[in-house]
Structure 1
Amino acid sequence: MTFTEMLQAVRAAPRSVVIPTSWAQGRASFGGLVAAAAYEAMRAVTQEGRPVRSLAITFVGPVEVEVPVSFEAEALREGRSVSQVFCRAVQNGQVVALVQGSFGESRSSSVEVENLPPPGFREPEHCQELPFIRKLMPAFTQHIAMRWARGHMPFSSSREVEMGGWMRFRGDGVADASLEVSHLLALIDAWPPATLPHLKSPAPSSSLTWTVEFIQPQPQMPVDGWCQYRATIEHARDGYGHIAAHCWAPDGRLLAISRQTATIFG
């Protein structure tokens, strides 16, 4: 089942979907797909013409693959220009994810600051790609290509605080589609936590909370085009890492700002 087909399933009522094993991340479903599905459910109950400005995501528990999960969204408040929306993902009668989102129209303002410039990575063809090796790599990585331009691979005993490179969807039947917020959520969350390269051997790690802010308006670009991603560890201790990240379009326009609290079991 392609990413596009998954989104179409959530857009149709009832907003429920069965995530196949090809989108697994260890013992659970890929978190970026869960966040994207929740966003689609929230967008459906939001006033027309209000793009998403931020999403705050809490992964309460693992979302099982091959088991129906429903996305229950409601508008908490519709203001003059901003909508506050909430969504819960429910599986087997239990809440597995919570998402709070702010959707807002543009307004006139005298404040205007250009975005941070992109990191200036080498071109994707000159960067090392994270290979998909069945049974060794998370299943979902067969759908998303990531090429390292800064930092080291997971479990390499690195001590660098920055990690990043290029990312895009692989074939997956999306060549003619345009990049949407849902795709961007999956791309950003595809990267492992920037703390994983500090480990010397494989150990579990997962997102506890994740906040993403979106720069509007989002540019028109193909979903299989390359985007740049750079993450920085701001602090890590006692099994928790705090990571800030940015995502840029190929032309240098800032697309999103991400913050993540990751758990580390190693």
Structure 2
Amino acid sequence: MDLEDLLAAVRAQPDAVCIPQDWTQGRACYGGLMAALLYEAMRQHVSPERSVRSLAITFVGPAQAEEPISFSIEVLREGKGVSSLLGRATQGGQVVTLMQGSFGAPRSSSIALTNRPVAPMLALDEARELPYLEGVTPHYMRHLAMRWGVGALPFSNTPAPAMGGWMRLRGEATRPLDEARLLVLTDAWPPALLPHLKAPAPGSSLSWTIEFVQPLAALTTQDWCRYCAVIEHARDGYGHTAAGVWSSDGQLLALSRQTVTVFG
């Protein structure tokens, strides 16, 4: 199943979605896809004029491929301008992913600015492609095109403070790049701490908050986006990173923060 099939499945039957093996990372379903599906289920409970402003995601446990997952949504409050929702993805009676979402209609304001300039990185045609390699890279990467443009590769014993590059969906029909698809892209990059290690070791996201710049730029799934994560602190097997996502021409699309665990 491709991404469009899975998004359609969670809209049609959110209480029984099976994620195929080719969307996994290690023993678990890919976290970016879990977030995208839970968001897509959440989006069905909010009026269209209220855009998603922020999502707070906790990966409680690993979701298993090929087994039914239920995506349930609770509307916590429907205010005059903002809707607050809580989403749960459960499997086998256990919560695997939690999401709190804030959706808000635009309002009149005299303030309009951005303080997050695009991160410098190698030009697209100079950036190193990160190919999908059977048995080496996670399965989900077959669905993504990525090119390394900032920092070093994982497990290269390189103490770089930042990591990132270029990204877009691979092999999908051309569609608008909406928030669900942006979630799939943004979580694709490995934890920015991994280049500091000199040997392979597991690492994964524990919690993730992402804030979307609305209205989203009019991009498609064939457009390249930029991503750059900066390490702010790391100790005791946990790291804290802050990232930006931009269009190829430097329009800010989203701000992302993650707490990651590293077993090395």
Fold in common (TM above 0.5):
yes
CA distance in structure 2 between the aligned counterparts of 1:48 and 1:216, rounded to whole angstroms: 13
1:2 and 2:9 are equivalent in the alignment: no
- The question of whether the paired residues in 2 share the 8 Å contact of 1:27 and 1:64 is answered with yes
Match of 2:147 in 1: 147
CA distance in structure 1 between the aligned counterparts of 2:249 and 2:105, rounded to whole angstroms: 25
CA distance in structure 1 between the aligned counterparts of 2:239 and 2:190, rounded to whole angstroms: 12
How does 1:40-79 map onto structure 2 within 5 Å?
Answer: 40-79=40-79
CA distance in structure 2 between the aligned counterparts of 1:206 and 1:264, rounded to whole angstroms: 7
- The question of whether the paired residues in 1 share the 8 Å contact of 2:122 and 2:150 is answered with no
Match of 1:130 in 2: 130
1:84 and 2:84 are equivalent in the alignment: yes
CA distance in structure 2 between the aligned counterparts of 1:99 and 1:45, rounded to whole angstroms: 14
CA distance in structure 1 between the aligned counterparts of 2:176 and 2:48, rounded to whole angstroms: 20
Match of 2:118 in 1: 118
| 1:57 partner SS | strand
For residues 150-205 of structure 1, give each alpha carbon's deviation from its aligned partner in whole angstroms, at most 9, with x where no partner exists: 1000000010111111001111x32x211010110010100001001111111111
1:243 and 2:241 are equivalent in the alignment: yes
Kindly tell me: are residues 3 and 108 of structure 1, through their superposed partners in 2, closer, same or farther at Cα, counting changes over 3 Å?
Answer: same
For residues 59-118 of structure 1, give each alpha carbon's deviation from its aligned partner in whole angstroms, at most 9, with x where no partner exists: 000010111101001211000000001100000111111100000001111222134221
User: For the aligned residues, what is the CA RMSD?
Assistant: 1.0
| 2:33 partner SS | helix
Structure 1 unaligned residues grouped into runs of 5+: none
CA distance in structure 1 between the aligned counterparts of 2:123 and 2:24, rounded to whole angstroms: 29
1:224 positional shift: 1.9
CA distance in structure 1 between the aligned counterparts of 2:36 and 2:158, rounded to whole angstroms: 31
1:206 and 2:213 are equivalent in the alignment: no
CA distance in structure 1 between the aligned counterparts of 2:250 and 2:142, rounded to whole angstroms: 26
- The question of whether the paired residues in 1 share the 8 Å contact of 2:19 and 2:67 is answered with yes
Aligned-partner residue type, residue 234 of structure 1: E
Aligned-partner residue type, residue 55 of structure 1: L
1:180 and 2:181 are equivalent in the alignment: no
CA distance in structure 1 between the aligned counterparts of 2:56 and 2:96, rounded to whole angstroms: 14
Match of 1:39 in 2: 39
CA distance in structure 1 between the aligned counterparts of 2:256 and 2:114, rounded to whole angstroms: 18
CA distance in structure 2 between the aligned counterparts of 1:14 and 1:160, rounded to whole angstroms: 41
With the length of structure 1 as denominator, give the TM-score of the two structures.
Answer: 0.97
- The question of whether the paired residues in 1 share the 8 Å contact of 2:14 and 2:72 is answered with no
Match of 2:161 in 1: 161
Match of 1:196 in 2: 194
Aligned-partner residue type, residue 27 of structure 2: R
1:246 positional shift: 0.2
- The question of whether the paired residues in 2 share the 8 Å contact of 1:115 and 1:253 is answered with no
CA distance in structure 2 between the aligned counterparts of 1:250 and 1:160, rounded to whole angstroms: 23
- The question of whether the paired residues in 1 share the 8 Å contact of 2:14 and 2:41 is answered with no
Structure 2 unaligned residues grouped into runs of 5+: none
CA distance in structure 2 between the aligned counterparts of 1:52 and 1:58, rounded to whole angstroms: 17
